[in-house]
Amino acid sequence: MITSRHKRLLYLCLLMPCMLLLTTLASGQRVTKLTIMNAELTAFDVRIGKDARKLIGDVQLQHEDVVMSCDSAYFYPATGSVDAFSHVKIVQGDTLTLTGDLMFYDGNLKLAKVRKNVKLVNKDITLLTDSLNYNRAKGVAYYMGWGILTQEDSRLTSGRGRFLIDSEIFYFMDSVVITNPDYTIYTDSLRYDTGSEISYFSGPTRIFNQERYIYCENGWYDTRQDISFVTDHAYLEEEGRILKGDTLYYEESAGFGWASANVELIDTSENMTLKGNYGLYYSDRDYAMVTDSALMIQVDGADTMWVHADTLRSIKDPKVEDKRILKAYYHVKIYRTDIQVMCDSLVYMEADSAFDFFGEPVLWSEENQLTANQIRVVMANKQLHRMYLSGIAMVASQKDSVKFDQMRGKGMTGFFTRNKLSKIEVTGNGQTIYYAEDRDVIVGANKTECTNLTIFLVDNKISRVNYMTKPKGTYFPLEMFPSEQSKLSDFKWVEQWRPLSWQDVFKWK
């Protein structure tokens, strides 16, 4: 007795072979027809395959929109493929031509494998190699074992490469080199858009031209407009100046560039480095700006000067050729082993070797603190030479926790000997408080007023004071010196703001 369950099993058994047959037919390879357009001699040759044909003399075949020609070929109608020999040529449309000595073409996969003396021409692009596969279905040509690409004046070589025919984009790997009359590029891996002529690279990359050198490990270069955007250990060198940063952007035509994160601008001729986290650079105007943790480092012989400000600018001196002006704005601090400064802004004139400090400047030289409305420091042979204090000028040095030697006047001129303050001339309304010592013990205080006076220092300590014109003063035994008279007008002691190392220039009151 046949049950309903047996009927279902019998139905499935009859259905399965039909489904397998349909699946096989559906998934089976469809042979694409290749047409023989011409051959001087055609013959069947069972030695090379069943139903295979040997074509000799001016062979021409067509597959869809592709025309192939060669001197001789083995044609396999069953698989829709062909082996072509000698003077092989593929023409697709009116833009692409592919030639070589040998070729295997699979019509079903639309894949051409061309070997020896291979040349691919697509519009104004020419590619030379010895081994190239062209997949028409995907529109991709790729080579293995070195290739040379030329476009107008540019020439590119690499170990391996892929060419996307429709988008005209190349991918190159292994020892990539691009040469051009204006530049040369060396990189590990590169994507080149022939339409926009932009090169995208990854891995260690070097770009050279007559005036500039760029290094990076990622980025792109617009070869048409000469614009570069580079990242990862980015480095640019031009005319003795070096620009570094995590990211660099540069336009040759505008002579303009910017950098961000870990920025360094190095002037090798001046032994000067500007650092920060954002910078601008104009080569034609010889202008550079650094901000965000900005720091200038300048090596002067055996000493080094660190300058910090919110913003640092370096510009060309309009009055003196080949000289520069440095400007620092807001929260300025300077550290050298022999001198330290705090102010609101400064200007450094390279032509005069002079620093001008503005905005309640404070200058420290060993034990001495100098303040004024404005301070100018002049260098000579990279050493401290002169110092000019204008406005309410004051010099102070600490004797103990509450006592200070003080000198005040309308103007002061300081003289340095071997980078040490050796003499100070006070002009106009001179006032002093000077503590007397006996065997290193403070015994009294001299408070004097004098129009002009001169202070002499030895090892940056006050050794004596010469009062030049009609001094008026009083000597007080220490116990009789009124505490309310122990400070001259406008006196302030700001030792807590003094940078004691180069790292302290980043600390602000």
Q: Is residue 83 part of a domain?
A: yes
- How far apart are the C-alpha atoms of 83 and 65, rounded to whole Å? 19
Q: Is the dihedral of CA 35, 40, 43, 48 positive or negative?
A: negative
pLDDT higher than 60, residue 392? yes
- Which of 356, 490, 484, 473 has its CA nearest to residue 410? 490
If pLDDT is split at 50, 70 and 90, which confidence band does 458 have?
confident
- Which of 280, 270, 248, 375 has its CA nearest to residue 325? 270
Domain boundary among 90, 117, 144: 117
Q: State what percent of residues in the chain have pLDDT above 90.
A: 58
Q: Is residue 88 part of a domain?
A: yes
Residue 31 confidence (pLDDT): 52
What CATH number does the domain containing 439 carry?
Answer: 2.60.450
Q: What is the pLDDT of residues 372-390, one digit of tens each?
A: 999 999 988 878 899 999 9
Q: Is residue 434 part of a domain?
A: yes
pLDDT higher than 70, residue 10? no
- How far apart are the C-alpha atoms of 425 and 432, rounded to whole Å? 13
- The reply to whether the predicted model has a pTM over 0.85 is no
> What total of structural domains would you count in the chain?
2
Q: Is residue 91 part of a domain?
A: yes
Domain boundary among 78, 100, 117: 117
The region, left, alpha or beta by phi > 0 then psi within -120 to 50, assigned to residue 286 is left
Q: Which domain holds residue 437?
A: 358-499
Instruction: Flag the least confident range among 134-138, 156-160, 173-177, 211-215.
Output: 211-215
What secondary structure letter does DSSP report for 469? S
Domain boundary among 67, 89, 117: 117
pLDDT higher than 60, residue 204? yes
**Residues 6 or more apart whose Cβ sits within 8 Å of residue 164:** 139, 140, 170, 171
Residue type, position 337, single letter: T
Q: Is residue 464 part of a domain?
A: yes
Six-digit token string for 37: 């357009």
Residue 134 confidence (pLDDT): 96
